[in-house]
Amino acid sequence: MINRRTFLAGTAGLAGTAFAGPFAGGNAFAQAAAPTYKPEEGSSLRLLRWVPFVPAEEEAWLANTKKFTDATGVEVRIDKESWEDVRPKAAVAANVGSGPDMVMSWFDDPQQYPDKLVDLTDLGTSIGQANGGWYAGLEGYAKRGDQFIALPLCAIGNAVVYRDSHVKAAGFSEFPKDTAGFLELCKAMQAKGTPAGFPHGKAVGDGNNYAHWLLWSHGGQMVDESGKVVINSPETLAAVKYAMELYKTFIPGTESWQDVNNNRAFLAGQVSLIANGVSVYYAALKDPATQEMAKDMRSTNFPIGPVGKSVELAQTSTISVFKHTKYPEAAKAYLQFMYQPDNMNAWIQGASAYCCQPLKGLANNPVWTSNPIHAAYARASETLRPNGYAGPLGAASAGTMADYVLVDMFAEAVTGQSSPEDAIANAERRANRYYRV
Amino acid sequence: MSVSTASPPAGTKASFFERLSQSRNGLGLLFMLPAALFLLCFLTYPLGLGVWLGFTDTMIGRPGIFIGLENYEYLWHDRVFWMSVFNTVVYTAVASVLKFVLGLWLAIILNEHLPFKTFFRAIILLPWVVPTVLSALAFWWIYDSQFSIISFVLMKAGLISAPINFLGDPTNARLSVIAANVWRGIPFVAISLLAGLQTIPASLHEAAALDGATSWQRFRSITLPLLTPIIAVVMTFSVLFTFTDFQLIYVLTKGGPVNATHLMATLSFQRGIPGGALGEGAAIAVAMVPFLLAAILFSFFGLQRRRWQQGGSD
């Protein structure tokens, strides 16, 4: 029974009765009794989250939060920060031991300060068991050894978005599946005056997604399993040379592109092929001037390179609870509530395919089949490869990405500032610094 | 003649506060204490902490250990760091000279008897008043590789066939960020120098004019020497602001393309905060100190030479 103080959030009984809805199937995976958390007397929480990209996603999150507050009396204040500012803010909060109680952060942020985070192993294990398990890639970001230092929240897929009519006009009735065909397509599109564009500037999200796909699709990797830097390899050289060829087909100026530039150029009709989250589609749909363009938009996954399988980075987010919180039980109860299948499904649906579910049991969310353009984003959690593959996640992998080591390597080579070999050697040197050779 | 001295009654001793109130040194110390405490807490401590961090391998969320000069050794061989040093020096030197020349020019014009003088003096401050981030965002659009208004106008006029790659080409990017900085910094220099110009007595110019001095001679021998103390102060501040610039670069390029516009301040932030390497970030910040000290020393010992100010030649 729920009252304002004793809140048995997340139990099968609760999910099946009080909040049961169209997604109650998630409980079919329930195997063990979920832990119960009793919010501390007088508790209130502060969550630091990234500024939402899709308004309905925030509405769904807030609606779930309100339900939690109504059920428990625990007020949850949600602070929003521009998504690039979440990392420094969270890092400072972790360091000084003050600030928000919970943070919705990016990539391997929790791995940078695992000692400052509340152990969520019981919660993570029970939620995973009840919902068909976590996707491995996302789970890796949230775990340190066997311990959950965060809960995986979502993967934000980065798919190739293109104008169907322009691809067809370039002579391609189907979108190429491999990197060789993709290069030919980009050449043909450039010749037709409807070029592609991928960021080679300091674009935290899109730039890293593109650079990692270039590297991984050709079999290169930053480090091996032991964390030894192995970027200087023939595979990386092949990736850099491929990037140089691809770059020649781009609209000029992509060296300066930050995250928003590709959306802007696409929506203005300047480029016809980019890689982005689904938000660009909804931006087109919302504006009467670009609604016709939205009808012509399609999405697909990045082509497969010599490595023979789909390998993408995908932006990932996790939620952690800081040890400095005065109300760890309330925080756990809140998370348990937000991860109940109905609540999580409502949130995923609100995000309109922008956020891909962290739990396998939620994969049949109707959002993925509600619009064909969503399909390419449905696999993000399943196929993502973690940052700093194949090495351990932590300060080194996070620092290497934050210092744009890979993005700069490709940018140096494609702009002709360095030879491919020199660009790779420089990336190796910089990565070695983070991996402390 | 009799001398009488007031002495405290035998057996009573002046209280501590009484003695303090009579002591010049004691009072001096007392009055300086708040300022000293403020400086200690908010200047000396952070600066000292920054210097110390530069000698450690502190990461965000993990206390570091003393590693001596290792951060500096790494930076010594780091071409991104050296590029940021080069960029910072070029950015500061070019922007400061341009701000000085254009600012002085503007100040001299504003010092003349113009119609709507007050209005112009007020409006000239606008770039300085607008928050840097907002003006940087405006420049971001002005320099956009696809939607630049400059490119648009030039293309409409038939002068160019494709948009100018303002922020994508290293040279263009450097010039673009310098131009934005100059636009923003001119008002400070101009208004400060204008204040200096108004302190120069008109009689000196009149006397020189009667003696047949040309405009240039009056500027060279009267205006410039008398303005030099103000120039020294204004340019010291201007150089310091420019050298430590962050917002403009961070909004416009984040240091790109390929680090061509990374300044020491932006690189320090990138590595220290998002990158988590607080020690290395601090080392980059500390590496700025010698340059800043040199700029200050140049200003005080170079520009403030008395004899030169008085028309001598050293």
Give per-residue pLDDT as tens, A31-88. Answer: 557 899 999 999 999 999 999 988 899 999 999 999 999 999 999 999 999 887 888 8
* Residue A225 Cα distances to A31, A191, A230, A388, angstroms: 33, 43, 10, 10
Confidence of residue A387 (pLDDT cuts 50, 70, 90): very high
Both tokens of B169, joined, read 């080409």
A75-81 and A44-50 beta bridge pairing: parallel
Alpha-carbon distance A48 to A106, whole Å? 12
Rg (CA), chain B: 27
Who wins on pLDDT, A6 or B139?
B139
Q: Sketch the domain layout of chain A as residue ranges.
A: 43-156+314-377, 159-313+385-434
Q: Choose, out of B53, B70, B145, the residue to mutate when testing the contact with A (most A CBs < 10 Å).
A: B145
Question: Which of B79, B169, B256 minimises the CB distance to A201?
Answer: B256
Interface of B with A (CB under 8 A): 59-62, 74, 78-80, 143-147, 162-163, 165-170, 173, 253-259, 270-271, 273-277, 280
Instruction: Give per-residue pLDDT as tens, B4-45.
Output: 454 555 556 778 888 888 888 888 888 999 999 999 999 999
**Could you please report the per-residue DSSP string of B44-96?**
IHHHHHHHHHHTB--BTTB---B-TTHHHHHHHT-HHHHHHHHHHHHHHHHHH
A253 contacts B146 by C-beta, under 8 angstroms: yes
* Contact check, Cβ <8 Å, B162/A264: no
Alpha-carbon distance A145 to A148, whole Å? 8
Nearest of A339, A384, A329, A385 to residue A362 by alpha carbon = A339
Q: What are phi and psi of A47, to 5 degrees?
A: -115, 130
Alpha-carbon distance A400 to B188, whole Å? 39
Nearest of A112, A23, A15 to residue A318 by alpha carbon = A112
Both tokens of B7, joined, read 């002495």
Whole-model pTM?
0.83
B56 contacts B67 by C-beta, under 8 angstroms: yes
Q: Residue type for B141, please?
A: W
Alpha-carbon distance B234 to A401, whole Å? 40
Q: Choose, out of B49, B56, B58, B60, the residue to mutate when testing the contact with A (most A CBs < 10 Å).
A: B60
A312 DSSP 8-state letter = B
Tell me whether the omega of the peptide bond preceding residue A390 falls within 30 degrees of 0, making it cis: yes
Question: Which of A84, A402, A408 minimises the CB distance to B275?
Answer: A402
Mutual angle of helices A206-217 and A234-247, in 10-degree steps: 130
Who wins on pLDDT, A322 or B303?
A322
A384 contacts A312 by C-beta, under 8 angstroms: yes
* Contact check, Cβ <8 Å, A87/B273: yes
Q: Sketch the domain layout of chain B as residue ranges.
A: 79-309
Q: Which residue of A has its CA nearest to B254?
A: A202
Confidence of residue A21 (pLDDT cuts 50, 70, 90): very low
Question: Which of A202, A252, A265 minimises the CB distance to B254?
Answer: A202
Fold assignment, B79-309 = MetI-like fold (1.10.3720)
Question: Which of A253, A402, A433 minimises the CB distance to B274?
Answer: A402
* Residue A192 Cα distances to A186, A195, A229, A266, A268, angstroms: 10, 8, 41, 16, 17
Q: Give the architecture-level CATH label for domain A43-156+314-377.
A: 3-Layer(aba) Sandwich (3.40)
Provide the pLDDT for residue A2: 43
Question: Which of B59, B169, B257 minimises the CB distance to A201?
Answer: B257
B117 contacts B110 by C-beta, under 8 angstroms: yes
3-state secondary structure of B187: helix
* Contact check, Cβ <8 Å, B169/A255: yes
CA distance B224 to chain A (A): 42
> A356 forms bridges with which residues in the sheet?
A155
* Contact check, Cβ <8 Å, B61/A87: no
CATH number listed for the domain at residues A159-313+385-434: 3.40.190.10
Which chain A residues are within 8 Å of B167, Cβ to Cβ? 201, 253, 255-256
Q: What are phi and psi of B208, to 5 degrees?
A: -65, -40
Arithmetic mean of pLDDT, B275-295:
91
Q: Which residues contact B113 (CB under 8 A, 6 or more apart)?
A: none
Who wins on pLDDT, A20 or B42?
B42
Q: Choose, out of B174, B258, B263, the residue to mutate when testing the contact with A (most A CBs < 10 Å).
A: B258
Provide the pLDDT for residue A4: 45
Which chain A residues are within 8 Å of B59, Cβ to Cβ? 112, 395, 399
Instruction: Give per-residue pLDDT as tens, B161-180.
Output: 888 989 989 999 999 999 99
* Contact check, Cβ <8 Å, A395/B271: no
Alpha-carbon distance B180 to B178, whole Å? 5
